[in-house]
Amino acid sequence: MNTRMLNRTKTMPIRWHLERIMEERRWTNRALGKEIGKHENSISRLKKHKNMPQITGDLLASLCRVLEVEPGDLLEYVPEEE
């Protein structure tokens, strides 16, 4: 595939469900931040995203460990309609 074709390819959104999962499990920004070593404001910013934010694998693993979920619980691939 050439570069021009890659540049025309639309990105497929990956939905981010951190806010819903935190609500279901009754986690506060402060409590989750303390468990994973992040400030509560950082957690608040992460929750605001509807599509997956740019995060490290380590952060994703920490969120999964503390929230007791799998990556697929936090992330949902939604193909774009043509």
CATH number at residue 61: 1.10.260.40
The residue among 16, 24, 20, 26 whose CA lies nearest residue 59 is: 16
Q: Are 19 and 47 in contact (CB under 8 A)?
A: yes
Examine the pLDDT at 81 and tell me if it is beyond 90: no
- What pLDDT sits at residue 58? 97
Is there a domain that residue 57 lies in?
yes
Q: How many domains does the chain have?
A: 1
Is there a domain that residue 31 lies in?
yes
Is there a domain that residue 51 lies in?
yes
Domain that holds residue 22: 12-77
The whole-chain average pLDDT of the chain stands at: 89
Is there a domain that residue 40 lies in?
yes
Strand partners, 75: 16
Number of Cβ within 10 Å of residue 76's Cβ equals 13
Residue 55 contacts by C-beta under 8 Å, 6 or more apart in sequence?
46
Q: What is the pTM assigned to this prediction?
A: 0.80
Query: How far from chain centre, in Å, is Cα 37?
Result: 17
- What pLDDT sits at residue 65? 98
